[in-house]
Amino acid sequence: MNSKKHDTGDQSERTLVGSDRAAAGAPDRRDWFLFAAIVASAFCLRLIYLLQFRHNPLFAYPMMDPSYNDQWARAFAEGRSFMDGEPYFRAPLYAWFLGFCYKIFGPGYLAPRIVQALLGAVSCGLIFFVARYFYSRTAAAAAGFVAASFWLFFYFEGELLIVPLIVFLDLLFLLLLVRGSLSGSVSTLAAAGIVLGASALARPNILLFGICACLWLALVDLDRAEPRSAPRGRKGWRRRLVRAAVMGCACLITIAPVTVRNAVEGDDLVLISSQGGVNFFIGNNPASDGSAAVIPGARPGLWESYHDSIAMAEKAEGRALRPSEVSGHFFGRALDFLRRHPGDWFALTLKKAGYFWNQAEFTNNQPIRFFAERYGPISAWMPIGFSIVGPLSLLGLVLCLGRWRRFFPLYGFVLVYAASVIAFFVCTRFKMPVMPVLIIVACGAVEWLFAAVKRKGWQPLAAAILFLIPAFWWVNATPKNWVDPAYIGLMNLGIFERDRDRLDRAIGYFKEGIETRPEYVPLHNFLGHAHLARNELDAAQSAYREALDRARSVGWRFASDVAESMYGLSLIAVARGKDPLAAELLGETVRLDPYFTLAHIELGEVLERLGRPAEAIAAFEKAIELLDEGSDEASRIAARIDALGLSTKEDKK
């Protein structure tokens, strides 16, 4: 495509191909200037957000997945092992990355977030360069600046979560893949394979697209997809096959050390991590709602659900299982659901697909918008979010299919990666790696619309508008049964204040959360605990009874929540000197939740006071099974058992 044609030719061709210089992989001075401007503006906005967000009380108090990442990273930074003698349950790269930040900058929580903000800013620049291979400089720059101000990136770069690392690696992989495919450079494709492997060590589902990308390199003749002036040099399918093999082998070589480590140290054949089967079951079972990270029958809580999943699998199989076998067990259960109830599975999959393309924020850690806008108000001023990007990206993906060979790295990445998320369960964090490419194709769609207006292509423009109207409705419609998760944020703020003995503030947050969602049982339990800590027995009893009423109204869905209420009522009974009632309530508590260690201990103490030593010993022994071996608490309970045993022998004499 000569310069004259580039200036005056068909605007649709220009929109979909970009300039010759970009296609050849040689950014010019203007490209580098725009890259620097995008990165600088992105970093400044992120720095403002972080300086605001550091006033969040939970900034240095990670919960759930951030807590898991933090624990693992600190163990890595201090040279300690994490989960000894087991293959990795989760992919390790982010924990290593975070651990290096702790090692270099110290144990604080601000420095790693600044590093993540810088990584996110560079990712915005990479979005510009990836877009330049497919669209004009204007559309590519628009994509970069939209990403620079995209508030969801602000939020995730401010959390101890994998998103900024995986977004950076996936964009770098796409950039190298496109450059290597156009130039035919084996070394560039080898680098792409290394980055692909690194990305898989952060989140393995990228491997599904990696396989498709290798097939694309091997089977698709890109000469047919390029304008005549594009660089040549491909000599048939053998050369394409070699390039695909080089990228695939480089990826496997990068992953291999982790696989070997899992086999040697964990004595199990696990490619990267062993959580795949559990996650697949979470999103494919009769009780799944498609977004909540809940294992039916397991306790809520990250570590609790981890241990319960192992216990459930081993009980079902009747033997001790390796992590890969636990994963296989849950894969099997999910596939059994698919075989037995294909209609229900298909409806659930459609529901998850709707969640993936919806603007609502689905979270399995903290409520995203609640914390972003409450403690990082700059995010509320950012004009473009998924409500706009989503519909335009759908149009952009349709336009990509017109040149499917050339545009596979864009639409292929979106469709394959989206499928890998929808197959499991959907939350906003999981779909963030797709967001940069959606921004790129959305800006490409906008450029196409302007070009259609300029050349007076009213018929395709009308068709596009007819497509966009339902697309905007679909993306922005409130999902059925969706509830604003702000109550989770209020609950977590209350827990934070409670743990610091600021009970007035904690009670205020718990009450505010109850006003937001009165049917959520844990909030009533936490309110009861806070009143109990202040010795306000009547208020605590009222909260626990309300929790039981709420739990009963939803069919006691989570037995552990009911057990928590029973436990609270038992403590009130103890405080009022009603040990027989307390024993009855505690017995019901441990029946509902056999893993409730504190309830077993309290039951033992109550039974001891009631003069029932044999039953007290049984309760204490169960508590010791649940406590860490050799812990101070376990030693204390063992001493109580010995004393009760001696007392029982004396009574018999």
Cα 91 from Cα 370, distance rounded (Å): 28
Where do we find the tokens 């069919």? 555
Residues 6+ apart with CB under 8 A from 538: none
**Which architecture, in CATH terms, is 581-653?**
Alpha Horseshoe (1.25)
**Which architecture, in CATH terms, is 483-557?**
Alpha Horseshoe (1.25)
- Helix, strand, or coil (residue 564): helix
Where do we find the tokens 């309300």? 546
Q: Which two tokens stand for residue 335?
A: 């596939």
Q: Is the distance from CB of 495 to CB of 523 less than 8 angstroms?
A: no
Where do we find the tokens 């552990």? 560
Kindly report whether the global pTM for this prediction surpasses the value 0.85: yes
Cα 530 from Cα 518, distance rounded (Å): 17
CB atoms within 10 A of CB 469: 10
Amino acid, res. 290: G
Residues 6+ apart with CB under 8 A from 359: 385, 386, 387, 390, 475, 476
Cα 520 from Cα 485, distance rounded (Å): 11
| Nearest alpha-carbon partner for 58 in 113, 120, 118, 119 | 113
Q: How far is CA 330 from the centre of its chain?
A: 20
pLDDT at site 643: 77
Helix (H) or strand (E) holding 148: helix 137-148
Q: Which two tokens stand for residue 42?
A: 């992105």
Residue 299 DSSP label: P
Q: Is the distance from CB of 475 to CB of 357 less than 8 angstroms?
A: yes
Residues 6+ apart with CB under 8 A from 633: 627
Distances (CA, A) of 425 to 288, 419, 437: 9, 10, 21
483-557 and 581-653, same CATH topology: yes
Q: Is the distance from CB of 545 to CB of 533 less than 8 angstroms?
A: no
**Residue spans of alpha helices (H) in 423-520:** 428-431, 435-454, 458-476, 486-499, 503-516
7: left (phi over 0), alpha (psi -120 to 50) or beta: alpha
pLDDT at site 479: 86
- How much helix, strand and coil, in percent to the nearest 5, is found in the chain? 75, 0, 25
Q: Is the distance from CB of 42 to CB of 148 less than 8 angstroms?
A: yes
- Helix, strand, or coil (residue 88): coil
Q: Which two tokens stand for residue 608?
A: 């001891």
In the chain the first and final C-alpha atoms are separated, in Å, by 104
pLDDT along the chain (653 residues), means of 10: 38 43 64 95 96 92 90 90 84 94 93 96 96 93 95 94 96 95 89 96 94 90 52 63 92 95 88 91 90 80 81 87 90 93 93 92 86 92 90 93 89 95 92 96 93 85 91 90 87 92 93 92 93 93 92 71 91 92 91 87 88 86 80 79 62 45
Q: Is the distance from CB of 418 to CB of 356 less than 8 angstroms?
A: yes
Helix (H) or strand (E) holding 329: helix 323-340
Cα 456 from Cα 447, distance rounded (Å): 14
Q: Where are the domains of the chain?
A: 169-202+205-272, 274-364+385-477, 483-557, 581-653
Q: Which two tokens stand for residue 305?
A: 């659900």
Cα 397 from Cα 444, distance rounded (Å): 9
Radius of gyration of the chain (CA): 28
Cα 5 from Cα 322, distance rounded (Å): 63
| Nearest alpha-carbon partner for 439 in 194, 123, 206 | 123
pLDDT at site 184: 82
Residue 68: phi, psi to the nearest 5? -60, -50
**Polymer length of the chain:** 653
pLDDT at site 224: 54
Q: How far is CA 10 from the centre of its chain?
A: 43
Cα 586 from Cα 617, distance rounded (Å): 15
| Nearest alpha-carbon partner for 44 in 120, 108, 105 | 120
Where do we find the tokens 């027989």? 580
Cα 356 from Cα 120, distance rounded (Å): 22
Q: Which two tokens stand for residue 195?
A: 């980055």
Residue 479 DSSP label: P
Residues 6+ apart with CB under 8 A from 349: 422, 423
pLDDT at site 137: 92
